[in-house]
Structure formats: C-alpha cells, structure tokens
Structure 1
Amino acid sequence: MNAENKIIINAFTDPLCTWCWGSEPIYRKLQSHFGDNIEFRPVMGGLVEDLANFRDVKNDIGGRSMADSNRDIANHWAEAAARHGMPVDSENFNLFDDEHRSTYPQNIAYKAVQLADPGKAEIFMYNLRVASAAQARLTNLESVLIEIADESGVDIPAFLRKLRDGTAEQAFRGDLALTRHLGVHGFPTCLIKFNNQQIMLRGYRDFDTFVSIIDSLSQGAIKPIAPAQTAEALLDFMANHPKMAIAEVREAFNFATLQDAENFVVPLIENGTLQKEIAGSSYFVVKPNLAGACDLTTGDCG
C-alpha cells in the first residue's frame, strides 16, 4: 500500500523513555493487526539533554546527585514495568555519571543507523531499548552503541561515518526542532496521519484507542485483522521482529493472559524453534538464527 493510503504514525520518542519501552507491546499489536496498512516513523525527541538540569516532578526524578538520580530512574522503571510488563533490570541500572549525563548519544546513534543502513533502523532501536532497559548496559558509551549496531546487523563502517562526521547529529537536531515546533514535551507522543488528516495522541495509549483513531481518520476504510494464534503465524511475524518479550507476544496474538502466551511459546522453546532469554524482570523469545550478530572471533554470521 502506498503512503497516501496507509496510516503513518510519527512516534516521538527517546531510547531511554520507560513508557516508550512499555508501548512496544501495543506497537507489536498494531503491526500484527494492521500489517502493511500502518507505518511507524520514529522522531527522536531527546529526553535528557543534561541530567544535572533535568526535572521530572511527577516521578520525583532529578535535582539530586547522579547516583541518586540513577536510583530514582530505576525505581520509576520498576514501577512502570509492574504495569506494562516489559523486561526491566532496575537493580543494575547505573547509566548516568558526571561524564555521561545525557540521552542525546543514543538519539544520535539511531539517526546514524537511519542514515547509514535504514533497513536496520527498527531493529537497532529495539535492541537499543533492550540494552538500556532490560540489560542495564551503558548505552551512552560509543563502544556500547557500536556493539548494539553490530548485534543488529548494521553496516558498521557506514554507521561510524555518520556517527562521527556530524550528519547524524544534524539529523537529530532536525528531529528535535520538529518535536519542539509541534509542542511535544513528553514521550511517547504519536502523531497519527492518514492522507491530509492527523490526530496527536500524548502519553501511553492502549490498542483500542489507536483503533478508534485509525477508524476515524480512515472513515472505516482501515480495520484491524487479528492474526491466527499459531506457531506459523508467530514465526512469520518474527521474521521482522526476531526478539519479542512475552508481553509483546501476548498483545500481538490476542492472548487473554500472560500465562496463555507463555503456554503458547513453551513447546516452541522446548523443541528449539525459539530460545528463551531471561532479562531483568521478564524474558524474551528469540529466533535462534537471528539471536546474535556476527561472531567477531570466528567471523561466523549465523
């Protein structure tokens, strides 16, 4: 379907935004139910320019030392994870220090991938969120960002060129200008477009809200179609989403409970079709052949 006849979701986001991470199950459900009728276009909003000057009064984050702010953020993530169900490692979160006080490096890295290897941008963003939220990796370090790019199959020389020659930062500044121009102050925020119409949704929203907006914008022309609850359907979907949290499986395939989703994937894990990857407060299911990047020792790219 061409862009003029599909739903475009401009998703204003930041790789370190916990409720953006918590929205991933909803986005998987939108993708599994609307298929090619929907397209996500991330816009990097730059959540934290400098943690020393950052204040989130509602969640009591900021205004203290870096160590205290790390604990405040970790506590907020743990509280949010209890609601959204995505894996979070709040116990080991220690991202910020006096030298690394911003989330801008992660935003710029995404733009570098988008410019250098656009077909890998979606999986890089997902893996960047995984690394930040579920694995407590120091994703504001260039070395870690390179690792994540490699794990995502990104063209590393092209990525590094864009990361270091200023073009990725320039692209990020463009996203930042758009974010501010449209009055977006919190994440996630989604600007949903269909032809010449658009509606902005601010904050975390459930699937039914998105469906209602899509129905209104398209005047009923675009409807969700539920996927089959079969192993074949899941594996087909995972061709584009090779790693999924169990909360995402539940939403994408309409399981009534998390236990139902777990019961569904257990046989696939037991027979080796999928692998189970424990992470923080929950776990992912991963397609074995796509679970990692090239082995830098052997050169084997499975």
Structure 2
Amino acid sequence: MRKIKLLYFYDPLCGWCFGFSPIIKALEQKYAPEISFEAISGGMILGERIKPLREMHAYLRDAMPRLEKMTGVKFGEDYMKVFEKGDIELNSETPCMAMTVYKSISSGSSIEFASALQNELYVYGKDLNIPENYKGLVEKFNLDWDVFSKKMKSDTYKKKTYEEFEFAQRMGINGFPSVVLQIEDQGYLIARGYRAESEMKKVIDEIIKKEKAD
C-alpha cells in the first residue's frame, strides 16, 4: 500500500482544536504505524488579528460552554483567571514557532506536543508569548532547554514557521481544526472544524479500504 500521512492543521490558540485534541490523539494511537501523523501550524491570529484576550470576551463567553459540552474538555481554573483578567495578547506566532522548533529537535509525536502546548494556555493559563514559559513543557518532553530556547530566538525558525503557514494556505485550509488524509499526491479533506471520533474513524477506514482495493 502507498504511503499514507495524516496532516492535522491546527493553531495553538484555537479553542476548538483544544477540544479536538483527545480525538486526534486517539486516532494517532489507533492508526500508527499504518499512518504517519503530523501537526501543522496554521497561524490563525497574526498581523491585524492580534488583540488582547479581553476583546474576545463577548464571543468566548458564549462559545466556551458550548465547546465544553460538545467535546467534553474543560478549561482549567488557571486559564479562567487569565481569561477574566483579559491581558494576554492573542498572537499565534510564538506558540507556532514552538511547534516548528519541537519538530526540528524531536522525533516524537507532534500531535502530543500540540495537545500539551494548548494545555499550557487552556489548562494552566500560561502566556505563550513569553519564551521562558515553555521551559516546563520542554522538560516534560525531555528536550534540551538551551537548544530549544536558542532556536526560539532564531530568524531561521521564524521563517520556517511562516513557511508552514503558507503551506496550510496552499492546501486551502481556512479554518481549524482541519484534517487532510494524504496518500502520495492525493489529499482527502476529512475534517473541517470539530468532528466526532467515530465519524473520523469511519471516513479513514473507508479511504484505506478503497486504497487497498485499488
């Protein structure tokens, strides 16, 4: 069978991606090593979209309860304190760079790192714009903090991160989470937005069955 890869387009600041994390992690556990998985940063909040968290209060006060009910995830108490204060700047650049750096120094799961990265904000209330706030996360993944922090300051990895944003755009991704199952040069968009695990498995199994039949 031809090589199959699942591309998970997400953003560290995307609440629905936070809710989708248990599903994408479960899919990786089920289908590895038959399918290779990679988290791709989308750059959801950049440029003119950058704003303080408080400016999203009206939308998020309505969206977060619905998200929790639909997905089963819970926003942490520490995040809720940060949310109420509203001072954190919403800017995807630094946390997306963290993913780029992680993939450059680790052969481990980028899906697991994406989930842990989001937990830093949505569970523990960390400001992801501050590079020093990644130290605990980096140590949790048994990575060298000195190497990680040096690369976080590098223009090279900033450029690589923006190249990843451009890749997502070329793939036609305009919302998160989005999932593409790629077989050689053929891509199947199997999720645009949150989608239940059972539905995801059904679609993946159908595509794999068709691939084996061909």
TM-score, normalisation: structure 2: 0.83
Partner of 1:217: 207
Which runs of 5 or more structure 2 residues have no equivalent in the other structure?
none
CA RMSD in angstroms comes to: 2.7
**8 Å Cα contact 1:13-1:20 kept in structure 2:** yes
TM-superposed CA distance for 1:214, in Å, is 2.1
Contact 1:12-1:190 at 8 Å conserved across structures: yes
Closer, same or farther in 2 for the Cα pair 1:182/1:121, shift >3 Å?
A: closer
Letter in 2 for 1:84: T
Map 1:72-151 → 2, pairs under 5 A: 72-73=59-60, 75-89=62-76, 91-94=80-83, 97=87, 100-119=89-108, 121-151=110-140
Measured after TM superposition, the shift of residue 137 of structure 1 is 1.7
Task: Please tell me whether the aligned partners of residues 10 and 40 of structure 1 are also in contact (alpha carbons under 8 angstroms).
Answer: yes
Deviation per CA, 1:82-126: give whole Å up to 9, x if none: 21011312522338648x341211001111111123436444322
Q: Which residue of 1 aligns with 2:161?
A: 172
Deviation at 1:128, TM superposition (A): 1.1
Q: Give the equivalent residue in structure 1 for 2:181.
A: 192
User: 2:177 & 2:111 partners in 1: Cα distance?
Assistant: 16
In 1, distance between residues paired with 2:104 and 2:141? 15
Asked if 1 retains the 8 angstrom alpha-carbon contact of 2:6 and 2:37, the reply is yes
Query: CA offset at residue 154 of structure 1?
Result: 1.6
Q: CA deviation at 1:79?
A: 2.6
**Following TM superposition, by how much is the alpha carbon of 1:170 offset from its aligned partner in structure 2, in angstroms?**
1.3
Structure 1 residue 20 corresponds to structure 2 residue 17: yes
Deviation per CA, 1:63-92: give whole Å up to 9, x if none: xx7524256435523331121011312522
Q: Is the 8 A contact 2:11 2:17 kept in 1?
A: yes
Query: Runs of 4+ in structure 1 displaced over 4 angstroms?
Result: none
Q: Which amino acid aligns with 1:133?
A: Y
Contact 1:46 1:103 in 2 (8 A): yes
Contact between 1:215 and 1:221, CA under 8 Å: does it hold in 2? no
Q: Structure 1 residues 197-206 or 208-217, which shifts more?
A: 208-217
Q: What SS does structure 2 have at the residue aligned with 1:77?
A: helix
Letter in 2 for 1:185: N
Distance (whole Å) between structure 2 residues aligned to residue 156 and residue 22 of structure 1: 28
Between the aligned partners of 2:32 and 2:184, the Cα distance in structure 1 is 18
CA gap 1:73/1:93 in 2 versus in 1, 3 angstroms: farther
The one-letter amino acid of 2:133's match is V
Paired residues for 1:45-60 under 5 Å: 45-50=42-47, 53-54=48-49
Contact 2:23-2:197 within 8 A present in 1 as well = yes
Query: How far apart, CA to CA, are the structure 2 residues paired with 1:9 and 1:190?
Result: 7
Q: What one-letter code is carried by the residue in structure 1 that aligns with 2:104?
A: L
Distance 1:181 1:118 in 2: 25
Q: How many residues are paired up?
A: 208
Structure 1 stretches lacking a partner, 5+ long: 56-61, 223-302
Q: Percent identity at matched positions?
A: 19
